[in-house]
């Protein structure tokens, strides 16, 4: 029997790692990520699902982690900013945002990047209108929107390049296997 005072353990998969946590099941996912798992990529902005600063991917969809209870992601794959790339190899979207210097204070960037990753999974080569539409509800108070749109376009190119490099490596290694 589980209640808010004595919650039962809860299994979470975050950034490809399984965690077992004893936390109230109705706690917002954002608090669990930041306070229990020490993942500070997702930011607290409005706490109301309005600004997008807290966005994470849940089964590849952009979700505002301030507005969903942790119990809603049981059995799903949660990816935070920290799970996209690493210091040796950044995710193409992270690379593109750095390349275009698409930030001033940077507070919105977690949401912009996670929203872009979700968009490019769905539409690999979005038009500017599709980018504006997808990122419309991610707030940037510093007004770096032009650079952000440029970053998304560059990210789309980098991701295509990564995929074709991968294809090339696979076909080279297949040729090498056949030659042996
Ligand atoms: S903090 Fe979650 S949408 Fe603003
Ligand atoms: S860069 Fe400051 S809020 Fe977007």
CA distances from 65 to 10, 55, 81, 180 (A): 17, 6, 12, 51
The better pLDDT of the pair 173, 153 is held by 153
Ligand 1 contacts (CB < 6 A) are: 44-47, 49-54, 64, 66
Q: What is the pLDDT of residue 86?
A: 87
CA distances from 67 to 53, 64, 134 (A): 12, 6, 19
76-130 tens-digit pLDDT: 999 999 999 988 899 999 999 999 999 899 999 999 999 999 999 999 999 999 9
Q: What is the pLDDT of residue 7?
A: 82
For ligand 1, what atom is nearest to the CA of residue 44? 1
Domain limits, the chain: 1-83, 84-170
Cα 177 to ligand 2 centroid, rounded to whole Å:
49
For ligand 1, what atom is nearest to the CA of residue 111? 3
21 bridge partner residues: 10
Tell which residue, 115, 10, 95, 12, has the closest CA to residue 54.
Answer: 115
Cα 146 to ligand 2 centroid, rounded to whole Å:
12
Tell which residue, 61, 162, 151, 59, has the closest CA to residue 113.
Answer: 151
Q: What is the pLDDT of residue 175?
A: 56
What number of CA atoms fall less than 13 Å from residue 46's CA on the CB side?
Answer: 16
For ligand 1, what atom is nearest to the CA of residue 43? 1
Mutation pick for ligand 2 pocket among 50, 53, 100, 109 (CB with most ligand atoms within 8 Å)? 109
Cα 42 to ligand 1 centroid, rounded to whole Å:
9
Question: Does the domain formed by 84-170 have CATH 3.30.365.10?
Answer: no
36-50 tens-digit pLDDT: 999 999 999 999 999
Ligand 2 contacts (CB < 6 A) are: 103-108, 140-142, 144
Superfamily of the domain at 1-83: Beta-grasp domain (3.10.20.30)
Would you say 42 and 54 are in contact if contact means Cβ atoms under 8 Å apart?
yes
For ligand 2, what atom is nearest to the CA of residue 141? 3
């Amino acid at each position: 029997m589980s209640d808010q005072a004595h919650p039962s353990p809860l299994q979470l998969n975050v950034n490809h790692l399984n965690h077992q946590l004893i936390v109230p099941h109705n706690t917002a996912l954002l608090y669990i990520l930041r306070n229990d798992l020490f993942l500070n990529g997702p930011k607290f902005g409005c706490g109301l699902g309005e600004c997008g600063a807290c966005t994470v991917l849940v089964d590849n969809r952009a979700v505002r982690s301030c507005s969903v209870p942790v119990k809603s992601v049981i059995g799903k794959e949660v990816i935070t900013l920290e799970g996209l790339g690493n210091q040796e190899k950044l995710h193409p979207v992270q690379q593109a945002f750095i390349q275009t210097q698409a930030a001033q204070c940077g507070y919105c960037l977690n949401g912009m990047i996670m929203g872009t990753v979700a968009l490019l999974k769905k539409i690999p080569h979005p038009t500017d209108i599709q980018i504006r539409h997808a990122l419309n509800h991610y707030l940037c108070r510093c007004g770096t929107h032009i650079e952000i749109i440029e970053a998304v376009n560059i990210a789309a190119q980098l991701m295509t390049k990564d995929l074709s490099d991968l294809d090339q490596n696979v076909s080279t290694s297949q040729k090498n296997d056949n030659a042996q």
